[in-house]
Amino acid sequence: MGTTDTIAEKEVLLFDGVCNLCNSSVNFIIDHDPKGHFKFAALQSEFGQEKLHELGLNTEDFDSLVLLSGNKVYRKSSAALRIARRLNGLYPLLYAFMIIPPFIRHWGYDIIAKNRYKWWGKRDSCRMPTPELQSRFV
């Protein structure tokens, strides 16, 4: 990240910091975002809690990732597909699924979100970024 970059110039992904699936997804995004377009913050972090409160979203029950893009907010499958659009490789092709009505896309997302702790497990505390990745986290 250059010295002229600011959080406002990046898209910020708020994720469930204790969810193993969510943490694996953050690792995947980092691996496929070589330009460092995305910054990250746990929903449980001070930054995450402030943003959720500002947006009028639930600050205790984390059922969705939240993508902050400029002055827009995307959640659930809309956020996931917008993220895929920015990754390298063939992942941007997944953005074509945006033609599916949101209520259908979100239904599938909600099934995974509801079962993520049961299927992938849960950490006791939020992830701490390594020193190499510290600049990618808010």
The pLDDT of residue 8? 52
Q: Is 81 exposed, middle or buried (0-12, 13-18, 19+ CB in 10 A)?
A: buried
Q: Report the Cα–Cα distance between both ends of the chain, in Å, rounded.
A: 13
Q: State how far the Cα of 71 lies from the Cα of 37, in Å rounded to an integer.
A: 16
Span 50-78, pLDDT tens digits: 999 999 988 887 888 999 998 899 999 99
Report phi then psi at 80, rounded to 5.
Answer: -60, -40
pLDDT digits (tens, 9 = 90+) for 19-47: 999 999 999 999 999 899 999 999 999 99
- Residue whose tokens read 């953005």: 95
CB 14 within 8 A of CB 51: yes
pTM of the model: 0.86
What domains can you pick out in the chain, each with its CATH number? 7-124 (3.40.30)
DSSP state of 123: -
Give the residue-averaged pLDDT of 68-90: 95
